[in-house]
């Protein structure tokens, strides 16, 4: 066996195979059907995620129209991440998610955003093990689907508290825990604590997925080596470089995916086409702008692209601004028109 392969291989969640154990991170405004299908194009994701879905709102969403719920069969397995504070909110949403084909239900215990905390959800739940246990065990009783939790490390570095919390989740029937290796109040400027993700791994028997600042295969290798965790979840790194999962799958899990040489304008245009296919006009522009914030980091002067596209007032205007930027960044790029003709 190749000794550079530090990944442990596939996971099984109540019989659901996750192979390789690589997850796209739930990201508001970014983890939607078009993004997941762009990841699919390159391969390497073992389990997809939706962005967080407010459980209260989910029952009134139209599954065929809602930009949040919408999916295709190819985006599979797919975890629906739910945000709730009480079983009354959560249980109807689990039913809806199961009804639209969720293969995994994930509960958000990590979101630090103040409005979410004010309603008692996300990271606020980590401050009350009792409320969290009530919520999680009610979910467990309501579904036979794999049930997972996404947490941060907590309010302060407190080994005893964190240990009790994750053991509580395991005791309530969690099938997997994802740990974003930062405290609730910590920003992205601080590196994630992979040693703490390793502590969680040593405390529970269920699989632990590590998350935080993975931008390359080397980052992923170090993360697995330090933490010994069972899989990786990747957010910003994969929005910026949607082919990253295929590199991680090959480099860490010995897959043999053909890593397509990334042609950046081509990827951008593919993503735009997926947005057009997946979303109504008024839903597209905001998602293109959110993607561009990350994707533009592939260019030395990418902030110009993010700013230009960010200021666009319409879809056509945004695509024109992106085209102009690509032309200035790459003399071989002759515009969207020439690309469509050359695409097979
Ligand atoms: C724009 C944005 C939106 C996010 N939305 C969610 C969300 O809906 N649910 C969630 O659990 N975490 C959310 N997160 C956190 C990510 O899932 C992830 O834990 C974090 O970005 C660290 O991973 P990364 O360094 O690979 O990006 C979000 C993060 C960002 C930057």
Mutational test site, ligand 1, from 22, 23, 24, 26, max ligand atoms within 8 Å of CB: 26
Query: Whose CA is closest to atom 5 on ligand 1?
Result: 27
Query: Whose CA is closest to atom 3 on ligand 1?
Result: 27
Confidence label for 142 from pLDDT (cuts 50, 70 and 90): very high
Asked if residue 253 has pLDDT above 60, the reply is yes
172 labelled catalytic: no
> Residue 4 has what pLDDT?
64
Asked if residue 1 has pLDDT above 70, the reply is no
Whether the CA torsion 35, 235, 48, 223 is positive or negative: it is positive
Please give the average per-residue pLDDT across 101-109, as a whole number.
Answer: 97
Those residues with Cβ within 8 angstroms of residue 196's Cβ, 6 or more apart along the chain or in another chain: 153, 157, 162, 179, 181
The CA distance from 342 to 49, in Å, is 33
Encode burial over 111-120: b for 16+ CB neighbours within 10 A, e otherwise: bbeeebbeeb
Please pick, among 47, 111, 172, 229, the residue that the annotation labels catalytic: 111
Ligand 1 centroid to Cα of residue 7, in Å, is 22
Ligand 1 centroid to Cα of residue 27, in Å, is 5
Query: Whose CA is closest to atom 28 on ligand 1?
Result: 27
Angle subtended at Cα 105 by Cα 99 and Cα 110, rounded to the nearest 5 degrees? 140
The CA distance from 103 to 48, in Å, is 10
13 closest CA partner among 55, 50, 61, 46: 46
The CA distance from 167 to 171, in Å, is 6
> Residue 342 has what pLDDT?
45
Task: Note the Cα 298 to chain centre separation in Å.
Answer: 20
Asked if residue 327 has pLDDT above 80, the reply is yes
> Residue 245 has what pLDDT?
98
Asked if residue 258 has pLDDT above 50, the reply is yes
> Residue 343 has what pLDDT?
44
Say yes or no: CB of residue 219 within 6 Å of ligand 1: no
Ligand 1 centroid to Cα of residue 335, in Å, is 33
Say yes or no: CB of residue 107 within 6 Å of ligand 1: no
Say yes or no: CB of residue 235 within 6 Å of ligand 1: yes
> Residue 340 has what pLDDT?
59
Least confident of 30-44, 55-69, 243-257: 55-69
pLDDT tens per residue, range 287-298: 999 999 999 999
Asked if residue 171 has pLDDT above 50, the reply is yes
Confidence label for 159 from pLDDT (cuts 50, 70 and 90): very high
Do the beta carbons of residue 51 and residue 68 sit within 8 Å?
Answer: yes
> Residue 344 has what pLDDT?
35
More confident residue, 69 or 341: 69
Mutational test site, ligand 1, from 23, 24, 28, max ligand atoms within 8 Å of CB: 28
Asked if residue 143 has pLDDT above 90, the reply is yes
Please give the average per-residue pLDDT across 66-90, as a whole number.
Answer: 96
> Residue 2 has what pLDDT?
59
Say yes or no: CB of residue 248 within 6 Å of ligand 1: no
Q: Cite the residue boundaries of each domain of the chain with CATH code 3.20.20.70.
A: 11-253
Confidence (pTM): 0.96
Say yes or no: CB of residue 150 within 6 Å of ligand 1: yes
Do the beta carbons of residue 229 and residue 11 sit within 8 Å?
Answer: no
Mutational test site, ligand 1, from 22, 24, 25, max ligand atoms within 8 Å of CB: 25
Least confident of 134-138, 168-172, 340-344: 340-344
> Residue 262 has what pLDDT?
83
> Residue 116 has what pLDDT?
96
Ligand 1 centroid to Cα of residue 233, in Å, is 10
Which atom of ligand 1 lies nearest, measured to the CA of 150?
11
The CA–CA distances, whole Å, from 305 to 27, 91, 289, 321 equal 21, 43, 10, 8
More confident residue, 84 or 281: 84
Fold of 11-253: TIM Barrel (3.20.20)
Say yes or no: CB of residue 22 within 6 Å of ligand 1: no
The CA distance from 158 to 162, in Å, is 6
Say yes or no: CB of residue 82 within 6 Å of ligand 1: no
> Residue 110 has what pLDDT?
97
Least confident of 71-80, 128-137, 197-206, 329-338: 329-338
């Amino acid at each position: 066996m190749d000794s550079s392969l530090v990944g442990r291989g596939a996971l099984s969640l109540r019989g659901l195979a996750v192979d390789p154990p690589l997850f796209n991170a739930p990201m508001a405004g970014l983890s939607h059907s078009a993004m997941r299908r762009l990841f699919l194009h390159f391969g390497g994701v073992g389990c997809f995620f939706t962005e967080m879905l407010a459980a209260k709102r989910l029952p009134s969403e139209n599954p065929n129209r809602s930009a949040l719920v919408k999916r295709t069969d190819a985006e599979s397995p797919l975890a629906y991440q739910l945000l709730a504070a009480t079983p009354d909110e959560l249980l109807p949403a689990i039913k809806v998610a199961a009804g639209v084909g969720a293969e995994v239900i994930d509960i958000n215990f990590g979101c630090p955003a103040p409005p979410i905390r004010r309603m008692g959800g996300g990271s606020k739940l980590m401050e009350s093990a009792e409320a969290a246990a009530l919520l999680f065990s009610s979910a467990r009783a309501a579904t036979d689907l794999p049930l997972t939790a996404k947490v941060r490390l907590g309010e302060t570095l407190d080994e005893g508290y964190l240990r009790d919390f994750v053991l509580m989740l395991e005791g309530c029937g969690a099938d997997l825990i994802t740990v974003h290796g930062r405290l609730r109040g910590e920003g992205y400027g601080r590196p994630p604590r992979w040693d703490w993700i390793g502590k969680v791994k040593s405390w529970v028997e269920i699989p632990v997925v590590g998350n935080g600042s993975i931008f390359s295969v080397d980052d992923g290798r170090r993360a697995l080596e330090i933490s010994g965790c069972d899989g990786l979840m990747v957010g910003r790194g994969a929005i910026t470089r949607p082919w990253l999962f295929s590199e991680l799958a090959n480099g860490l899990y010995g897959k043999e995916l053909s890593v397509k040489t990334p042609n950046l304008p081509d990827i951008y245009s593919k993503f735009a086409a997926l947005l057009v296919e997946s979303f109504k006009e008024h839903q597209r522009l905001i998602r293109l702008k959110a993607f561009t914030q990350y994707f533009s980091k592939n260019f030395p002067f990418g902030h110009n692209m993010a700013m230009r596209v960010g200021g666009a007032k319409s879809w056509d205007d945004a695509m024109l601004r992106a085209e102009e930027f690509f032309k200035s960044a790459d003399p071989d790029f002759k515009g969207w028109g020439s690309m469509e003709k050359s695409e097979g």
